[in-house]
Amino acid sequence: MKVLVVGAGGREHALCWKLRQSPQLSELYCAPGSAGIEQVADRVPIAVDEVHKLAEFASDLRIDLTVVGPELPLSLGLADEFVSRGLKVFGPRKQAAELESSKVFAKRFMERHGIPTAPFEVVHDPQEALRAAKTFGFPVVLKADGLASGKGVFVVQDGGELAAAIKALFEDRKFGAASDRVVVEGFLPGEEVSVIALCDGERLLPMATSKDYKRIGEGDTGPNTGGMGAHSPSLVLDKEQAADVAERILKPTLAGMAGEGHPIVGVLYAGLMMTDDGPQVLEYNLRFGDPEAQALLLR
């Protein structure tokens, strides 16, 4: 079996390392890969956003399965391009990937389907953001609508931090078009946990739980990053709670997306806050988390 992995980070290294252990594997490629990945897979000099070139490579080499690591190529329609060529791909189509690529879409989807999440408001300028933040009170959370490499979320504690976040999002345009719209939502106290499941559009298979640490500073302080580290399993989610998460969040999400014509094929990742009122969704990803994949796949 010939497999292509798309990406170049630690997540893709873990995927390649795990795939290499399969007796069904005959050839393994990674685009663009890295020096570390080169130890377990053949590197292909194609960037993750070069969707057509990736599809041509997969067609020319008759790749049996493509596994997509990062979110960017999914948001650009990689799965759509591959499916149109009759190629098998582990990852959702562009419209389904919007559950991750648009915070606004995700929040409104949860609202439509009764999936527990923090109260929110969508804003378009600094004045609206300031008004919404004052409505929720401190601490409050501001999120860029689009993809921002895990850095577009601000948890602000006071007026000074709020002003800085609004400036970064709307005035400095730190995240470009990703912050044309911003989600302002109430802060949820509790413990974070990552729940990841494999999906075929109708069924799901939950993997082990994990927890990632996003903040850049020692002691889980400072601004968010794409991820500083992770461990698996989570220490705050037992088997009974995991079953509750599957029933209250994962299954309704899968059914809701399928019902709206956008089935999830690949990974459904729910970033949760375990609160006194039960699990609440902070975010969705439709690919393996990084660094969570490194903790999960190497177990």
Q: What is the per-residue pLDDT across 57-71, written as a single tens digit (0 to 9) for each?
A: 999 999 999 999 999
Q: Which of 166, 110, 102, 173 is nearest to 134 (CA)?
A: 166
DSSP 8-class letter at 210:
B
**8-22, 94-108, 210-224: the lowest-pLDDT one:** 210-224
Q: How confident is the model over 177-187, as a mean pLDDT?
A: 97
**pTM, two decimal places:** 0.91
Alpha carbon separation from 183 to 154, 193, 257, 275, 280 (Å, rounded): 10, 21, 21, 20, 16
pLDDT, residue 273, reads 96
pLDDT(280) > 90: yes
Q: What is the per-residue pLDDT across 209-262, written as a single tens digit (0 to 9) for each?
A: 888 887 788 877 788 777 888 888 888 888 888 889 999 999 999 999 999 999
More confident of the two residues 188 and 222: 188
| Residues 272, 245: Cα–Cα separation, whole Å | 9
Strand order across the 140-144 sheet: 120-123, 182-186, 140-144, 153-156
pLDDT, residue 40, reads 98
Q: Which two tokens stand for residue 15?
A: 């995927």
| Residues 257, 112: Cα–Cα separation, whole Å | 11
> What are the start-end ranges of the H helices in 260-291?
none
Q: Which of 108, 253, 256 is nearest to 183 (CA)?
A: 108
Structural domains present in the chain: 2-91 (3.40.50.20), 98-116+190-297 (3.30.470.20), 120-186 (3.30.1490.20)
